[in-house]
Structure 1
Amino acid sequence: MKSVTNAIGVLFGLMLVGLAFLVATETVTRKLFNFSFQGADELGGYTLAIGSALAFSVALVGRAHIRIDLVHMRLPAAVQAVLNWAAAMLLAAFGLLLVYVCWTVVADTMEYNSTAATPWATPLVYPQGAWYAALAAFALLAVAMALRATVLLLRGRIAAVNREFGPHTVEDELREELDDLKQR
């Protein structure tokens, strides 16, 4: 799973570097040669939408979604497990909601053959399709993880639920930092 999230991170990073290069080149050519590629802002919007949707999956796998754990860590392990399961279920429900809402946008775009209101007049079904695919991947991953949390909870594997679905502890973060330091 870590290799998939690393690949997604690299993909998003390359998208941002490419966008930065395009914006820098556009700025120079506009200033020096009074020429514009027109569309750097359009590509920036697509990059942000698709990259953000990809980042949802990376954050999900890395257990990096924001959780307020001030009270959580003081609760009994069984209560923590139920809360962690509920968080996984709610995140899966949110992912499915995003996919549903995104699909209505894409369906309308296809029905009306919508294009961007820019000089490129990009058929919006392409960038919205990539956005939808990234959100669908997040939703599928969230549902799979919620199902795993459910199975673990039903089997009484409280420690496993807390380990896999609970917020990072200070010890987890310290271990990750030390592992990172060793790799350098």
Structure 2
Amino acid sequence: MKDSIERWLGTLFGLIFVALSLLVAVETVVRKAFNFSLQGADELGGYALAICATIAFSLALIGRTHIRVDVFHDRLPPALQTGLNWLSAVCLAAFAVLLASLAWFVVADSRSYQSVSQTPWATPLVYPQTAWLIGLVVFALVSVGVAGRATVLLLRGRITELNRDFGPRSTKEEVDEELEDLKNRSTDGALPPTAGAATGARA
């Protein structure tokens, strides 16, 4: 389930920016060759950035890549580490729900006032803002699911699993992930010589 959500969100993220890059390329060629501008690349770029930011929130949460200040985390007693890891998941879920709620009111106001962008296209803001809202709702749902799982693990006393899945990522985890990514991207399925040497040295 987690991998499927991450794959779909990552694909959507990439497609949006591929489409934006094609639009910018067309805009550049048309402006240079025909002295004509579509006058919308900047506007669509802003919408793409806002929407993809919400997708990135969910991807970062699923991949545990949100920044955690962990200078003292590993030096704290295990029980306190567990409490902080659970609290971080719950607080992030509460923040995500707050963002989605506030975004709902923004979209409602734009619909009520029939707001449009201050650009030549005069785009009704309710359309890009609705896509932005959907991204924030997805982030809220993912955050609530993550917080719910952390709470279940805490109540069941599965402390080791909770700390492993919700604690700050260790340097070893990041290195292992990079090596795995290199292995997956290699054409023959084999690690590059330097990566293989690093794996042997770590073992």
Q: TM-score, normalised by structure 1?
A: 0.94
1:120: Cα distance to partner?
1.7
- What per-residue deviation string (whole Å, max 9, x for no partner) do you get for residues 115-159 of structure 1? 222222222111111100010010111011111111111221111
- What per-residue deviation string (whole Å, max 9, x for no partner) do you get for residues 80-104 of structure 1? 1110001001100110110111111
- Structure 1 or 2, whichever has the larger Rg, is 2
| Matched residue count | 184
Distance of 1:174 and 1:117 partners within structure 2: 46
Quick one: percent identity of the two aligned structures? Answer: 59
Letter of the 2:14 counterpart: G
The aligned residue for residue 69 of structure 1 is: 70
Secondary structure in structure 2 of the residue aligned to 1:92: helix
The aligned residue for residue 18 of structure 1 is: 19
Letter of the 1:149 counterpart: A
Distance of 1:146 and 1:43 partners within structure 2: 34
Distance of 2:169 and 2:73 partners within structure 1: 11
Q: Name the stretch that deviates more: 44-53 or 71-80.
A: 71-80
Distance of 2:146 and 2:11 partners within structure 1: 23
1:7: Cα distance to partner?
2.2
The aligned residue for residue 195 of structure 2 is: none
Letter of the 2:119 counterpart: T
Contact residue 77 and residue 159 of structure 1 kept, 8 A: no
Distance of 1:56 and 1:125 partners within structure 2: 22
Letter of the 1:105 counterpart: V
Contact residue 53 and residue 138 of structure 1 kept, 8 A: yes
The root-mean-square deviation of aligned C-alpha atoms, in Å, is: 1.3
The aligned residue for residue 175 of structure 1 is: 176
Distance of 1:131 and 1:111 partners within structure 2: 17
1:10: Cα distance to partner?
2.0
1:6: Cα distance to partner?
2.3
Distance of 1:76 and 1:2 partners within structure 2: 32
1:161 to 2:128 alignment: no
1:58: Cα distance to partner?
0.2
Q: Which runs of 5 or more structure 1 residues have no equivalent in the other structure? A: none
1:5: Cα distance to partner?
1.3
Secondary structure in structure 2 of the residue aligned to 1:182: helix
1:179: Cα distance to partner?
2.1
Q: TM-score, normalised by structure 2?
A: 0.86
Q: Which runs of 5 or more structure 2 residues have no equivalent in the other structure? A: 187-203
